[in-house]
Structure 1
């Protein structure tokens, strides 16, 4: 029988590395820790040690307020000893499983070294030979990564950002070292549960159910399994796979079942599924899931070799249940962007237009990420996303994340946890990455939502940035195709242990053709100068077929700002050139209060974006926040509509990003407190499956009106374009749009200072009106000429946008 018991009642001792080295401190038992005189406090597991210090009153209660987060830098070289005593009964085939240790550790059970760890991002399991009932002690010594990495040489070619050099040498979430969207909080601790596990000696160790082929309404499945057993005669074992799908009324409308006798502990089963019900992403169908059961049973044989049946199915030894979506996934891509280029996902042989968002750590402290994961997923679902890119700067999400995406038709682009750096590829690092990749691939490969593996985030780009130049001519460029980690190690793991979904070595991927041409890849990250969002020379002229990152700054609402920036500091944000206030700098997210620090540019950048659109930035913080949110909202709307209008040439956009991982100045459209910025509403409108939107002026100054449809059936509809302030009707009509299409409806001159409401309506096909499609969008004429704030506020009132503002005192307007 499989049992799991969480180990709790932990305490924590802390000491600086200098003391540990000077006094050669070694602790293997709770008794010696308790007699050591070291600072000891209660510890939460799962947890992070800073959170324990907060509970103990050793750190400010609101670690995110003001510059409090900087206090964590004083703790970066602290050794941690977690210890507990626990009582265990008789357990067979036992092991200790640490779901997550941050990061480098030595583990002592009853005073003896049980094992060591060197990777925060994956579980670690240790078998317990000869484990007996009774009281046991457990000590986990966590060595600070800042001290640990000093023993390793970092080759000259390896580099990262100022704050993240050490991240190249240890397997820890890169963003914890400090990023432009996350604070520096190196942390440490047992950030996931610790369990005593007993497993059957005859059990299903691994399973991988693959949708190999789909033809019409028939699918073919492959089941790859590995079992543990002590039996001599494997023919006594039977694997039985059963799956059922239920319709909306709960009736079974599709099923599959097959049983096979084992002749090897590694078994492959093939079986057909008739009347297959396919899994589809949002906008393209329903994410249908089968309920699946896999059983391992034993039917002994007599001396003559015949089976002895004590029950119809034999003795049940192990049972696993899970959900499975029948679908195939492909990636159509070219190396280079351009007229002959492409970058499209195909699900079940159907091209998908991706409307997505990037996923960053949901909290600064990894042990709390699951507390906020569902919140972010529900927002992404509500706003109309059918893809989420798990950015490579954070830890891998838990099953909560992937199960939600499976059930809601949200495709997942999964980066491996490397970002913005040139990593060493010595034997040690290759071994660490291989072990991590094997664990991650095996854990996630069964999810229908998982559409693509990516080796890292922007490491190929860092090769470009690492090279030199003479008189503007690139020299000494590093070819990212020599990256052993992503071109060999991870690529081999994905091929060996998955093999049924695409792999990109990096995002963006600079393959041999792109490197040789010195040109742009088909899939790109659109950040550029971050000037005017319709800038002629960058965003509007992008030739990318797929944007997997792009975004624009938006100030949090005043109510949120006042929660993390003190009242006295609110007026000290600086201007479009310089910010000197420590609180604004720290929340932008600078790791230091130097106005010249690498990330100190972000508040002035936000101010310049307001100035570009409105002529000047208001002094009043409420007005400033509103105008910044308008700037962001119009920018994000433009990026999405640019790509949707270009459907056919473009395959999707994954914008940055749905929600913050801590309170800050950022591109997120929902702040850490859950307060939506105006961009949330604009994006939700722009991502409607059927939406009207306007293109940019042609040579004669006319703007085309488009109907963009991701619907899978044709649509008859009426539409109108009206001036939002005067009510003048500009365009109107009754027409139709083909399924999955972009249709030009007409052209008009959108005048400077005018705002246009785009409405559409279609009658439903059923008597109750179900199936009706109606909606609203808007277009701001010649926004590049600037906006009058008073006119924009009047437009917001007429367009039903004023009530969408969150965190503003509306009595002020």
Structure 2
């Protein structure tokens, strides 16, 4: 795939199946982007034979496609595949470039997602060591590229082997109740908390344990000369029925000092747009462009009105040359989380455009253990199902991933609000400065990527950690803090406090200050832990499932905002058939038990309630 500013270009250069395509008509002004998604091979490190690989993808699906492993989900195959995450893996491709591309002043590799510990070599030179699945990485590679064939190799280190080293260096284990270390043949050594990677890969109480490695999002080679747009934020400063006052904040990376023109066009309007000329030195710059929209159409959630979107193009030019452009879609709305004292306690609800809205929705977990199998068509199907069910909110749950752009685009278009967790769940985390800085950069990357989406209703720090540790109730929580001495307890809580009460709110304050931040779900408020009967903040109610409460109790424990509740459903029979043989068709069979990760098992579904 060859792109120029999100527009497909018919000819450039790349090695596809051994063929070198020549460059035709390559402009030396606009930024060009080439997705390096072809001609990939992979192998277990130190093995001789390379096998075809799919990028984006992961090692498990590549092993499956090459017939090296069987279907991981069939019967008890999961058990025999736990060796994969203990190994290092390598991916390699070759691509060819010519003089026209080499002539760009700047040539960069942009990695949208590497899972997780990855050493990247370009022509045998180490150019990047990545250590966070959730971060994006940009590397200057002009000094390392050459005319003709170039070799890109990525060495993925085992997240388990490195995790074991980090656990030993830490000196004592940390709580990670859903890390299925026993299923991973690791005994009680729970290492998930030391690696910034999707928690559910290590298992959860609803799914299997497949700790993946691989190039899970695209790699882009881009060339540019004088300057480029790093990011454009659309800020709504004021909104009324008469006028919307907005500001586009363009972050510009300048290589060549000079006079630049930043222009903005709202494609939905006849207005000619706005522009500003500025003198810029080499370095990073932030330029504001203020603009208004008369009689604005508002963005509404599903069931209340049209989720109207405005399409805004920001362009960067020098003289007569267009250098770069970005397109953003945004919706105009006011939204606040209303917390006001009342007779019962304190409210917690969403007010959209001045209208109180009852949230109807679900928690969204990743669509597959192997993320490359979640297609755009599947995302469209899921969001369509939510709309058809009259939902107006989904919670992106903290044990998964910051979702793909298409997910949020679809929610924007369909009026589905998002409760967005940061990717922390049911665990405590190490306190060292390197880990904290990694978390900060992860948060910056994802807040900046998602902040223009009108669907984002709020940011939430984590899933269930505040209530599990229960710092302010010595007898409360899940029994975690009682396992540690006073020095360890202080260290563990200090790490929590730094991440969720300092780093994350600081990042939001600097990059998305108008959105609400809630440190943990559930919680009753500052210094107050949530319970089934708390009447402030949000609650998670699993009493009917885990606590053997009666179904009628769903009406008793209602809380002020129910961000999780439910009862496990049994899959329909055609799903059961997909991972079993007829001899497995008993809910107490070995295979059925292996596919049930809730501690109370399949028999709970048979009990009267």
Structure 1 length as normaliser, TM-score?
Answer: 0.63
**Aligned mates of 2:178, 2:550 — CA distance in 1:** 31
Structure 1 equivalent of residue 590 of structure 2 = 582
**Aligned mates of 1:532, 1:89 — CA distance in 2:** 68
Structure 1 equivalent of residue 48 of structure 2 = 38
Name the SS of the counterpart of 2:88 in structure 1. strand
Cα pair distance change 1:317/1:588, threshold 3 Å: same
Matching of residue 6 in structure 1 with residue 22 in structure 2: no
Q: CA deviation at 1:364?
A: 1.1
Structure 1 equivalent of residue 367 of structure 2 = 362
Structure 2 equivalent of residue 237 of structure 1 = 260
**After superposition, what is the alpha-carbon deviation per residue over 1:758-806, rounded to whole angstroms, capped at 9, x for unaligned?**
xxxxxxxxxxxxxxxxxxxxxxxxxxxxxxxxxxxxxxxxxxxxxxxxx
Residues 212, 328 of structure 1: 8 Å contact kept: no
**After superposition, what is the alpha-carbon deviation per residue over 1:121-175, rounded to whole angstroms, capped at 9, x for unaligned?**
2222211133332111121110011001122234658311152631210010000
Structure 1 equivalent of residue 522 of structure 2 = 508
Structure 2 equivalent of residue 327 of structure 1 = 333
Structure 1 equivalent of residue 8 of structure 2 = none
Residues 328, 348 of structure 1: 8 Å contact kept: yes
Residues 119, 171 of structure 1: 8 Å contact kept: yes
Q: CA deviation at 1:493?
A: 0.4
Q: Which structure is higher in RCO with an 8 Å CA cutoff and minimum separation 6?
A: 2
Structure 2 equivalent of residue 539 of structure 1 = 554
Structure 1 equivalent of residue 245 of structure 2 = 220
Structure 2 equivalent of residue 188 of structure 1 = 213
**Aligned mates of 2:236, 2:79 — CA distance in 1:** 49
**After superposition, what is the alpha-carbon deviation per residue over 1:289-330, rounded to whole angstroms, capped at 9, x for unaligned?**
11211122334xxxxxxxxxxxxxx44222222212112221
**Aligned mates of 2:353, 2:279 — CA distance in 1:** 34
Residues 393, 417 of structure 1: 8 Å contact kept: yes
Matching of residue 117 in structure 1 with residue 146 in structure 2: no
**Aligned mates of 1:329, 1:374 — CA distance in 2:** 25
Structure 2 equivalent of residue 97 of structure 1 = 110
Structure 1 equivalent of residue 448 of structure 2 = 442
**After superposition, what is the alpha-carbon deviation per residue over 1:196-221, rounded to whole angstroms, capped at 9, x for unaligned?**
22234322221100112112321110
Structure 2 length as normaliser, TM-score?
Answer: 0.84
**After superposition, what is the alpha-carbon deviation per residue over 1:335-392, rounded to whole angstroms, capped at 9, x for unaligned?**
x997131011122222221111111010110222335322222211211111111001
Q: CA deviation at 1:230?
A: 3.5
Name the SS of the counterpart of 1:395 in structure 2. coil
Residues 97, 148 of structure 2: 8 Å contact kept: yes
Q: CA deviation at 1:269?
A: 2.4
**Aligned mates of 1:263, 1:284 — CA distance in 2:** 46
Q: CA deviation at 1:532?
A: 6.5
Cα pair distance change 1:63/1:331, threshold 3 Å: same
**Aligned mates of 2:62, 2:602 — CA distance in 1:** 32
Which residue of 152, 160, 168 corresponds with 1:138? 152
Name the SS of the counterpart of 1:554 in structure 2. coil
Residues 167, 174 of structure 1: 8 Å contact kept: yes
Residue correspondences, number? 547
**After superposition, what is the alpha-carbon deviation per residue over 1:593-641, rounded to whole angstroms, capped at 9, x for unaligned?**
xxxxxx3423122122xx33xxxxxxxxxxxxxxxxxxxxxxxxxxxxx
Between structure 1 and structure 2, the one with the greater Rg is 1
**Aligned mates of 2:399, 2:179 — CA distance in 1:** 13
Matching of residue 158 in structure 1 with residue 183 in structure 2: no
Residues 262, 316 of structure 2: 8 Å contact kept: yes
Matching of residue 209 in structure 1 with residue 209 in structure 2: no
Structure 2 equivalent of residue 351 of structure 1 = 356
Cα pair distance change 1:78/1:523, threshold 3 Å: same
**Aligned mates of 1:386, 1:255 — CA distance in 2:** 33
Matching of residue 284 in structure 1 with residue 304 in structure 2: yes
Matching of residue 56 in structure 1 with residue 60 in structure 2: no
Structure 2 equivalent of residue 630 of structure 1 = none
Which residue of 121, 137, 151 corresponds with 1:108? 121
Cα pair distance change 1:338/1:58, threshold 3 Å: farther
Unaligned 5+ runs, structure 1: 16-35, 246-251, 300-313, 575-580, 590-598, 613-813
Q: CA deviation at 1:529?
A: 4.5
**Aligned mates of 1:315, 1:139 — CA distance in 2:** 35
**Aligned mates of 2:314, 2:49 — CA distance in 1:** 50
The 5 A counterparts of 1:344-423 are 344-370=349-375, 372-423=378-429
The 5 A counterparts of 1:646-657 are none
Structure 2 equivalent of residue 739 of structure 1 = none
**After superposition, what is the alpha-carbon deviation per residue over 1:719-755, rounded to whole angstroms, capped at 9, x for unaligned?**
xxxxxxxxxxxxxxxxxxxxxxxxxxxxxxxxxxxxx
Name the SS of the counterpart of 2:470 in structure 1. helix
Name the SS of the counterpart of 1:238 in structure 2. strand
Q: CA deviation at 1:518?
A: 12
Q: CA deviation at 1:40?
A: 3.0
**Aligned mates of 1:465, 1:66 — CA distance in 2:** 42
Unaligned 5+ runs, structure 2: 1-29, 181-189, 484-488
Cα pair distance change 1:359/1:465, threshold 3 Å: farther
**After superposition, what is the alpha-carbon deviation per residue over 1:480-506, rounded to whole angstroms, capped at 9, x for unaligned?**
796210111111001101112111111
**Aligned mates of 1:240, 1:205 — CA distance in 2:** 15
Name the SS of the counterpart of 1:137 in structure 2. strand
Q: CA deviation at 1:456?
A: 1.1
**Aligned mates of 1:433, 1:354 — CA distance in 2:** 30
Cα pair distance change 1:292/1:473, threshold 3 Å: closer
Residues 135, 441 of structure 2: 8 Å contact kept: no
Cα pair distance change 1:570/1:326, threshold 3 Å: same
Name the SS of the counterpart of 1:73 in structure 2. coil
